[in-house]
C-alpha cells in the first residue's frame, strides 16, 4: 500500500555521528586558523620592522630664477629653454659635483664623494616659469643647508667667471655702479624718513602737515569765536536799550509760562468786567465768589509782574555770561594762534630742508634709472645671458618629508591580509578532508513520521514490518557489520561510532509515563528545546510557572514554552525550594541524566533500553522540528547552540510542505 509522506533521517557511517572525523575536522580547522593568523602576524611584523627601523629623511631646497630679455620673442624662446635645460644638466654634472666635493672637504670639513652627492642632490627645471629647483635630501637636517648653499654659490660663481671671460666687463661695471647707487638710495631714504618722523613732516605740501593744519583750524575757530562775541555784545546792547526805554523784555525760555499766566489773568478780568456790568458794586462786594475772583486776579497781577521782572533780570545775566564766555574764548584762541605762529616759522625751515633731502633722493633715483636703462641695453645686446635671482634661499628643514610610516604600515597590513588569505587557500588546497574513510551517507526511512505521528497510526499490516525495519536500521547496524569485519582482517580497522537512536512518539510517551518526577522534568525539558548541558543550571527562579515557560540564561538566552502536565510536576518539585535552588535534589552530571532516562527505558520495557540518552532525545526533538518545516538556522532560537556539523545532519530530513517560521511550528514534542 503506497504512503504519501516519507521522512529521511541522515544516518552517518556505522549508523551515527562520527566523533573522530569531527575531531579531525576540528584539528584541520584549528590549523587553518593557525596558518591564517601566523602568516598575517609574520608578514606584518617583518614588514613593520623594516618600515619603522628606517631613518627619517629631510629635504631642503632653493629656487633659482633665470630672467631672459628675449623670453617674449617666440623665435628666441626656444633657445632660452635650451639654455635653461643646459643649466640644469650642468648643475648635476660630474665636474660640478667634483668641484663641490672638493670645496666641502677643504672649506667645511664635510667629506662627501661624488656618488654621495649625486644621491643627495637633484635639480628640476620648469621651462614655463624659467626656474630651477635645487633639492638636497638626507637624514641629517643640519648638513643639508650647508651642502645646498655651497652648491648654489659654486654654480653662480662659475657662471660669473664665464661672463667675465666672455668680455662682459662693461656690464659688470654697470652692475657695480647700479649696486652702489641702490645702496646710496637706500641710505638717503632712511635719512629722509628719519627727518620726516623727527619733525612731523607728512608731505611736501605745506597745508597737508600737522602744524599748518592746526594753525588753519585755530584761525577758523577764532573767526567763529569773534562772531559769537559780536553777536553776544549786540544782544546785550539791545537788551540794555530796551530796559532803559521802559520796555518789557522776556527771556525766551520764560515766555511760555508768562503767556499762560497772562491768558489766565485776562480771562479772569473779563469775567469780573462782565459781572460789574450786570450787578452793582455793593452786590459784588458781598458775593463771596466775586470777591474770591477779585482777590485771585489781584494775586495773578502781582505774580505776573514779579515773573516778568525775574525774567528780565535772568535774561540780562545770561547775556552778560554769554558775552564773557565769548570774550574768554577769543582771548584763548588768540593766545594759541600766537603760540603756533612761532612753531609755523620753525616748521617752514624744516620743510625747506626736507624738500632738499627729497630732491637729492630723486636725483639718485634718476641716476639709478638711467644706469639701469643702460644695463638693459647691454642685456638686450646679449639676449641669452640670463639674470639669475634666488627666489628661495636654502634653509634647515624642521620636519621630515618621508618615509610615511603610517601609510606604509597600512599597506603592510593589507599585504599581510592578502598573504594570509593566499596561504590559507594554499593550505586548504594541500590539506583536504579525507572522505574515503567516511563511506557513503545512508538514510533511515520512517514512513508517516510527520509532526510526531506514531507508528501505531499507520494503516494495515505495514505497521509492524516498517517499524521493525526502522528499528533495525536505527539499532542493528553495528551488530550486522561485525561479521563482515571479521571476514576481512586484512583491512585497517576503522573507528566504530555510536548509533544515534530516533525514538518514536509512543516510545517517548512510554518513557514519560513510567519516569519519576526528576526524570519527567529531564524528558520534558529535552523534548521542549533544552540542551542537556543547560539542565544542570536550571533553578526555581528560571521556572515561570504562571506563564508556563522556562527561562534559559547564558549566551543563548531564551524562553521555552512548557506543556501543562510538566508544569504540574514543576509546581510539586518547586514547592519547598528557594528561588536560587536548583531543581535537582543533588547536583547531577550529564551521565546522571542519561542514567535517569535508561532507568525509565527499562521500566517502560522499551527495546534496547540502554540506548536512550540526552543526545537521543535531543536528536528526536530536532528531527521533529525540522519535519514540520522549521529552517535549520532557526533551530537555535528554541534548541540553543548547535555545532555546524551537528546541524548539517538534518539537511536531508523530509520537510512536509514549505518552510515555516519558528513561531508557526509546534515547539513542544507530544510526549504526554
Q: Give pLDDT, residue 484.
A: 37
pLDDT digits over 367-425, tens only? 888 878 777 766 655 655 677 888 888 888 888 888 888 999 999 999 999 999 999 99
Position 654 in a domain: yes
pLDDT digits over 274-310, tens only? 777 777 777 777 778 877 877 777 877 777 777 777 7
Position 449 in a domain: no
Q: HEC string of 191-247? A: HHHHHHHHCCCCCCCHHHCHHHHHHHHHHHHHHHHHHHHHHHHHHHHHHHHHHHCCC
Sheet-wide strand order for 58-67 = 121-126, 131-138, 58-67, 387-392
Q: Based on the fold, state whether residues 262 and 305 are members of the same structural domain.
A: yes
Position 336 in a domain: yes
Lowest mean pLDDT among 28-37, 147-156, 486-495, 574-583: 486-495
Q: Based on the fold, state whether residues 158 and 100 are members of the same structural domain.
A: yes
Lowest mean pLDDT among 103-112, 263-272, 455-464: 455-464
* Most trustworthy range by pLDDT among 458-467, 477-486, 507-516, 659-668: 507-516
The Cα–Cα gap between 420 and 579 comes to 51
Q: Is the pLDDT of residue 57 over 80?
A: yes
pLDDT digits over 417-465, tens only? 999 999 999 988 887 644 434 433 443 434 334 333 443 443 333 343 3
Total structural domains within the chain:
4
Q: Within a 10 A sphere around the Cβ of 391, how many other Cβ atoms?
A: 11
The Cα–Cα gap between 14 and 475 comes to 10
Q: Give pLDDT, residue 227.
A: 78
Position 197 in a domain: no
pLDDT higher at 325 or 201: 325
The long-range contacts involving 298-306, CB below 8 angstroms and separated by at least 24 positions, are 300/261, 300/264, 300/265, 300/268, 301/265, 303/261, 304/258, 304/261, 304/262, 304/265
pLDDT digits over 564-598, tens only? 888 988 888 888 888 888 888 777 888 888 898 89
Q: Based on the fold, state whether residues 428 and 369 are members of the same structural domain.
A: no
* Confidence at 602, pLDDT banded by 50, 70, 90: very high
The Cα–Cα gap between 50 and 28 comes to 33
Position 391 in a domain: no
The Cα–Cα gap between 120 and 147 comes to 9
Q: Give pLDDT, residue 340.
A: 63
> Kindly report the CA angle at 228 between 222 and 234, in degrees rounded to 5?
135
**Bridge-partner residues for 135, per DSSP?**
61, 122
Q: Output the domain CATH number for residue 145.
A: 3.30.1890.10
* Confidence at 537, pLDDT banded by 50, 70, 90: confident
In this prediction, what percent of the chain has a pLDDT beyond 70? 75
97: helix, strand or coil: helix
Query: Where does residue 454 rank: exposed (0-12), middle (13-18), buried (19+ CB within 10 A)?
Result: middle
The Cα–Cα gap between 594 and 617 comes to 10
* Confidence at 47, pLDDT banded by 50, 70, 90: very high
Q: Based on the fold, state whether residues 419 and 348 are members of the same structural domain.
A: no
What is the pLDDT of the chain when averaged over all its residues? Answer: 76
**Bridge-partner residues for 58, per DSSP?**
138
The Cα–Cα gap between 649 and 15 comes to 12
672: helix, strand or coil: coil
pLDDT higher at 617 or 449: 617
**Bridge-partner residues for 388, per DSSP?**
66
Q: Give pLDDT, residue 480.
A: 37
Give the domain range for residue 113: 58-168
Lowest mean pLDDT among 83-97, 243-257, 610-624: 243-257
Q: Based on the fold, state whether residues 432 and 459 are members of the same structural domain.
A: no
Q: Based on the fold, state whether residues 33 and 82 are members of the same structural domain.
A: no
Q: Output the domain CATH number for residue 510.
A: 1.10.443.10
Question: Peptide bond before 519: cis, by omega within 30 degrees of 0?
Answer: no
If you average pLDDT over residues 528-535, what whole number do you get?
A: 88
pLDDT higher at 72 or 23: 23
* Confidence at 49, pLDDT banded by 50, 70, 90: very high
Q: Is the pLDDT of residue 513 over 80?
A: yes
Q: Is the pLDDT of residue 636 over 70?
A: yes
pLDDT digits over 115-152, tens only? 988 888 988 888 676 888 988 988 888 888 888 888 98
Q: Based on the fold, state whether residues 48 and 65 are members of the same structural domain.
A: no
Nearest Cα to Cα of residue 148 among 123, 176, 173, 183: 123
Q: What is the CA radius of gyration of the chain?
A: 60
Nearest Cα to Cα of residue 372 among 535, 538, 174, 103: 174
Q: Based on the fold, state whether residues 75 and 156 are members of the same structural domain.
A: yes
- Which DSSP category does 647 fall into? H
pLDDT higher at 218 or 66: 66
pLDDT higher at 340 or 373: 373
Position 548 in a domain: yes
Q: Based on the fold, state whether residues 258 and 320 are members of the same structural domain.
A: yes
Residue 551's region, left for phi above 0, alpha for psi from -120 to 50, else beta, is: beta
Q: Give pLDDT, residue 384.
A: 59
CA 453 vs CA 138, 445, 547: distances in Å = 85, 14, 28
Q: Based on the fold, state whether residues 254 and 330 are members of the same structural domain.
A: yes
* Most trustworthy range by pLDDT among 327-336, 376-385, 592-601, 653-662: 592-601
pLDDT digits over 176-185, tens only? 788 888 888 8
Q: Based on the fold, state whether residues 469 and 412 are members of the same structural domain.
A: no
Q: Which helix (H) or strand (E) holds 122?
A: strand 121-126
The Cα–Cα gap between 565 and 118 comes to 94
The Cα–Cα gap between 97 and 572 comes to 102
Q: Give pLDDT, residue 378.
A: 64
- Which residues lie closer than 8 Å to 491 by C-beta, 6 or more apart? 485
Q: Give pLDDT, residue 319.
A: 77
Q: Give pLDDT, residue 373.
A: 79
Answer yes or no: are the C-beta atoms of 598 and 613 closer than 8 Å. Answer: yes
Position 502 in a domain: yes
The Cα–Cα gap between 447 and 469 comes to 11
Position 185 in a domain: no
Nearest Cα to Cα of residue 348 among 213, 206, 219: 206
Q: Based on the fold, state whether residues 267 and 290 are members of the same structural domain.
A: yes
Question: Per this entry, what is the length of the chain?
Answer: 672
Amino acid at each position: 500500500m503506497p504512503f504519501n509522506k516519507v521522512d529521511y533521517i541522515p544516518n552517518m557511517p556505522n549508523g551515527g555521528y562520527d566523533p573522530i572525523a569531527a575531531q579531525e575536522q576540528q584539528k584541520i580547522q584549528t590549523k587553518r586558523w593557525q596558518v591564517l593568523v601566523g602568516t598575517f602576524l609574520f608578514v606584518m611584523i617583518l614588514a613593520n620592522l623594516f618600515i619603522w627601523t628606517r631613518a627619517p629623511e629631510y629635504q631642503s631646497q632653493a629656487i633659482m630664477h633665470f630672467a631672459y630679455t628675449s623670453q617674449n620673442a617666440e623665435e628666441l624662446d626656444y633657445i632660452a629653454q635650451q639654455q635653461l635645460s643646459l643649466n640644469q644638466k650642468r648643475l648635476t654634472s660630474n665636474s660640478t659635483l667634483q668641484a663641490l666635493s672638493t670645496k666641502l672637504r677643504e672649506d667645511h670639513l664635510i667629506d662627501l664623494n661624488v656618488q654621495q652627492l649625486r644621491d643627495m642632490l637633484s635639480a628640476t627645471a620648469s621651462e614655463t616659469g624659467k626656474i630651477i629647483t635645487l633639492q638636497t635630501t638626507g637624514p641629517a637636517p643640519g648638513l643639508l643647508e650647508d651642502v645646498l648653499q655651497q652648491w648654489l654659490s659654486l654654480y653662480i660663481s662659475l657662471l660669473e667667471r664665464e661672463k667675465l671671460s666672455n668680455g662682459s666687463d662693461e656690464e659688470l661695471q654697470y652692475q657695480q655702479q647700479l649696486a652702489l647707487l641702490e645702496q646710496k638710495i637706500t641710505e638717503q631714504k632712511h635719512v629722509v624718513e628719519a627727518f620726516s618722523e623727527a619733525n612731523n613732516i607728512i608731505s611736501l605740501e605745506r597745508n597737508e602737515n600737522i602744524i599748518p593744519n592746526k594753525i588753519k583750524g585755530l584761525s577758523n575757530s577764532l573767526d567763529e569765536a569773534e562772531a559769537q562775541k559780536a553777536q553776544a555784545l549786540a544782544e546785550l546792547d539791545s537788551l540794555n536799550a530796551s530796559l532803559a526805554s521802559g520796555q518789557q523784555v522776556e527771556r525766551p525760555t520764560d515766555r511760555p509760562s508768562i503767556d499762560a499766566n497772562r491768558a489766565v489773568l485776562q480771562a479772569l478780568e473779563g469775567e469780573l468786567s462782565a459781572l460789574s456790568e450786570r450787578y452793582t458794586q455793593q452786590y459784588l462786594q458781598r458775593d463771596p465768589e466775586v470777591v474770591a475772583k477779585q482777590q485771585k486776579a489781584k494775586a495773578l497781577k502781582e505774580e505776573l509782574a514779579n515773573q516778568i521782572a525775574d525774567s528780565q533780570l535772568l535774561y540780562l545775566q545770561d547775556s552778560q555770561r554769554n558775552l564773557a564766555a565769548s570774550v574768554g574764548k577769543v582771548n584763548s584762541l588768540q593766545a594759541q594762534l600766537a603760540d603756533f605762529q612761532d612753531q609755523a616759522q620753525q616748521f617752514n625751515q624744516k620743510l625747506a630742508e626736507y624738500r632738499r633731502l627729497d630732491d637729492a633722493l630723486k636725483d639718485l633715483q634718476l641716476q639709478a634709472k638711467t644706469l639701469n636703462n643702460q644695463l638693459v641695453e647691454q642685456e638686450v645686446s646679449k639676449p641669452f645671458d640670463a639674470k639669475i635671482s634666488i627666489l628661495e634661499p636654502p634653509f634647515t628643514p624642521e620636519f621630515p618629508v618621508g618615509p610615511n610610516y603610517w601609510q606604509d604600515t597600512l599597506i603592510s597590513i593589507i599585504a599581510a591580509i592578502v598573504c594570509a588569505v593566499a596561504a590559507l587557500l594554499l593550505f586548504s588546497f594541500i590539506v583536504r578532508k579525507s572522505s574515503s574513510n567516511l563511506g557513503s551517507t545512508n538514510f533511515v526511512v520512517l514512513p508517516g513520521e510527520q509532526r510526531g505521528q506514531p507508528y501505531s497510526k499507520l494503516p494495515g499490516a505495514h505497521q509492524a514490518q516498517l517499524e521493525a525495519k526502522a528499528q533495525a536500521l536505527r539499532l542493528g547496524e553495528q551488530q550486522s557489520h561485525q561479521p563482515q569485519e571479521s571476514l576481512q582482517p586484512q583491512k585497517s580497522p576503522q573507528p566504530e561510532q555510536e548509533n544515534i537512536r530516533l525514538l518514536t512518539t509512543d516510545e517517548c510517551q512510554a518513557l514519560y509515563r513510567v519516569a519519576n518526577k526528576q526524570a519527567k522534568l529531564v524528558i520534558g525539558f529535552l523534548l521542549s528545546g533544552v540542551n542537556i548541558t543547560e539542565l544542570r543550571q536550571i533553578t526555581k527562579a528560571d521556572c515561570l510557572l504562571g506563564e508556563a515557560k522556562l527561562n534559559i540564561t547564558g549566551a543563548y538566552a531564551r524562553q521555552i514554552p512548557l506543556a501543562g502536565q510538566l508544569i504540574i510536576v514543576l509546581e510539586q518539585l518547586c514547592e519547598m525550594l528557594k528561588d536560587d535552588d536548583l531543581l535537582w535534589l543533588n547536583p547531577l552530571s550529564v551521565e546522571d541524566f542519561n542514567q535517569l532516562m535508561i532507568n525509565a527505558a527499562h521500566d517502560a520495557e522499551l527495546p534496547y533500553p540502554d540506548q536512550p540518552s540526552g543526545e537521543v532525545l535531543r536528536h528526536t526533538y530536532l528531527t521533529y522540528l525540522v519535519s514540520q518545516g522549521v529552517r535549520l538556522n532557526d533551530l537555535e532560537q528554541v534548541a540553543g547552540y548547535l555545532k555546524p556539523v551537528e546541524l548539517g545532519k538534518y539537511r536531508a530530513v523530509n520537510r512536509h510542505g514549505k518552510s515555516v517560521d519558528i513561531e508557526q511550528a509546534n515547539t513542544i514534542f507530544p510526549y504526554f
